[in-house]
Amino acid sequence: MPQLLLLGTQGCHLCEQAEAIIHNCLADHAFTVTPIDIAEQEHWQAQYAVRIPVLLHAESQQALCWPFDEMAVLGFVGQL
């Protein structure tokens, strides 16, 4: 099952919006989405701090950065 990471930070309202969008459009797809707090990961914090929330494909490292909607998420996962 393909693994996606949702990079964000605790208390980020945009991250909460992104999580809801992702949940709504990927509920019927075979993806695992794992939330990651980038404050605990120095390398991700340096790379994505001003771009969160970010949906990251764990294997290919392809990223979809905010802002995105359901169509963008479906297009992103369709390319994987």
Residue 55 pairs in a beta bridge with 6, 64
| pLDDT one-digit tens code per residue, 51-75 | 999 999 999 999 999 999 999 999 9
pLDDT score for 28: 85
Q: Does pTM surpass 0.85?
A: yes
pLDDT value of position 2: 84
DSSP class of residue 29 equals S
Mean pLDDT of the chain: 94
Spell out the domains of the chain, with CATH numbers in brackets: 3-79 (3.40.30.10)
